[in-house]
């Protein structure tokens, strides 16, 4: 009898315990295969070479990850993925969320690292209804202010006005009555906001801690790790402030390496959990965390 051949990937979920009291679940939203033209401050041929030597696709493949945080008897979702507006290979959050056994109405808070479409387009459906009907929407006050700034929108090109500014406003609209803005500090039980500006004005990482253990969800410190870890000067076309984004990236690299801080991110290859090693000759190396069957 012929064996049935698998036709689809298994659900993209991965649980990781932080201390005794917190669980962080990586939930894949899929991936985006995008233009090399957005990779800046490096020659295109050099960027392509680096990807090929790392056995990665050219053009670039960018993972899109989101994270559930179970803490203090509550449940937070960090970022909401691409929704259904970007690519057929992305927008997988809802089906992967279902595989975890979590219903959207069980999410108490959606914490945004920032409001680019691959992080916030999964907040609302095409009719403008909140996809997480009982959740408050939580983000840095500078992030909210920037995407609502008409002058900033006027300075952007039309594609960015539509894809970024108008989309961000539309996605956040159904949460206006349960919007919470912060400058820093603890924003959810066991979760402390760490502003990492540059990629966007309010771009934020989240330190998840329990006892002496912690995990940093660093947001978009890198988009193409095979290039930006060895070459932190490489920026992306959608960095609002490229020079600040580079400075923030270097600072965060130094911090996680010096502190031996476990971290993960939205564009590290799923599930993303990693450490950073500072090389003796300078520069850094990203070391993916070993797989654990239990947690």
- Residue among 100, 107, 78 nearest 191 (CA): 78
d(CA 197, CA 241) in angstroms, rounded, equals 8
Q: Tell me the mean pLDDT per 10 residues along the chain, length 295.
A: 89 96 98 95 98 97 97 98 93 97 98 98 96 98 98 95 96 97 98 98 98 98 98 97 98 98 98 95 94 85
CB 204 within 8 A of CB 193: yes
Collect all residues with Cβ–Cβ distance below 8 Å to 158 and sequence separation of at least 6: none
Strand partners of residue 263: 216, 274
154: its two tokens: 């006027």
At residue 292, the pLDDT reads: 86
Q: In order of start, what are the domains of the chain with their CATH numbers?
A: 13-288 (3.60.15.10)
Q: What is the pTM of this model?
A: 0.97
Collect all residues with Cβ–Cβ distance below 8 Å to 241 and sequence separation of at least 6: 197, 198, 201
What Rg do the C-alpha atoms of the chain give, in angstroms?
18
d(CA 44, CA 157) in angstroms, rounded, equals 23
- Burial readout 28-44 (b: 16 or more C-beta within 10 A, e: otherwise): bbbbbebeeebbeebee
Measured distance between the N- and C-terminal CA atoms of the chain, rounded to whole angstroms? 38
Burial (CB count <10 Å: 0-12, 13-18, 19+), residue 96? buried
84: its two tokens: 């259904």
Q: Give me the phi and psi of 74, to 5 degrees please.
A: -125, 170
CB 62 within 8 A of CB 46: no
Q: How far is CA 132 from the centre of its chain?
A: 18
At residue 295, the pLDDT reads: 82
d(CA 262, CA 218) in angstroms, rounded, equals 10
At residue 294, the pLDDT reads: 83
CB 44 within 8 A of CB 4: no
Question: Is the CA virtual torsion 107, 109, 111, 116 positive or negative?
Answer: positive
- Residue position matching structure tokens 């070479």: 49
206: its two tokens: 């989240």
At residue 179, the pLDDT reads: 98
Q: Count the residues in the chain.
A: 295
């Amino acid at each position: 009898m012929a064996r049935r051949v698998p036709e689809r990937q298994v659900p993209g979920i991965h649980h990781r315990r932080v201390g005794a009291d917190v669980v962080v679940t990586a939930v894949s939203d899929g991936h985006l295969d995008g233009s090399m033209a957005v990779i800046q401050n490096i020659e295109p041929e050099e960027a392509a070479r680096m990807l090929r030597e790392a056995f990665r696709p050219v053009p670039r493949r960018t993972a899109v990850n989101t994270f559930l945080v179970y803490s203090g008897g509550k449940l937070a979702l960090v970022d909401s993925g691409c929704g259904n507006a970007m690519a057929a290979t992305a927008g997988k959050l809802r089906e992967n969320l279902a595989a975890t056994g979590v219903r959207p109405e069980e999410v108490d808070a959606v914490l945004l690292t920032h409001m680019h479409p691959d992080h916030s387009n999964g907040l609302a459906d095409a009719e403008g209804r909140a996809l997480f009907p009982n959740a408050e929407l939580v983000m840095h006050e500078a992030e909210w202010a920037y995407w609502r700034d008409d002058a900033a929108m006027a300075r952007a090109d039309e594609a960015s006005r539509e894809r970024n500014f108008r989309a961000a406003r539309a996605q956040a609209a159904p949460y206006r009555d349960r919007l919470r803005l912060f400058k820093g500090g603890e924003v959810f039980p066991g979760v402390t906001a760490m502003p990492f500006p540059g990629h966007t004005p309010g771009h934020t990482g989240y330190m998840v801690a329990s006892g002496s253990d912690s995990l940093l969800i660093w947001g978009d410190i890198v988009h193409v790790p095979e290039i930006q870890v060895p070459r932190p000067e490489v920026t992306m076309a959608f960095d609002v402030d490229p020079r600040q984004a580079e400075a923030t990236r270097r600072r965060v690299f130094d911090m996680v390496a010096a502190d031996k801080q476990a971290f993960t991110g939205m564009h590290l290859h799923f599930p993303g959990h990693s450490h950073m090693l500072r090389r003796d000759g300078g520069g850094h190396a990203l070391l993916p965390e070993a797989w654990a069957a239990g947690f």
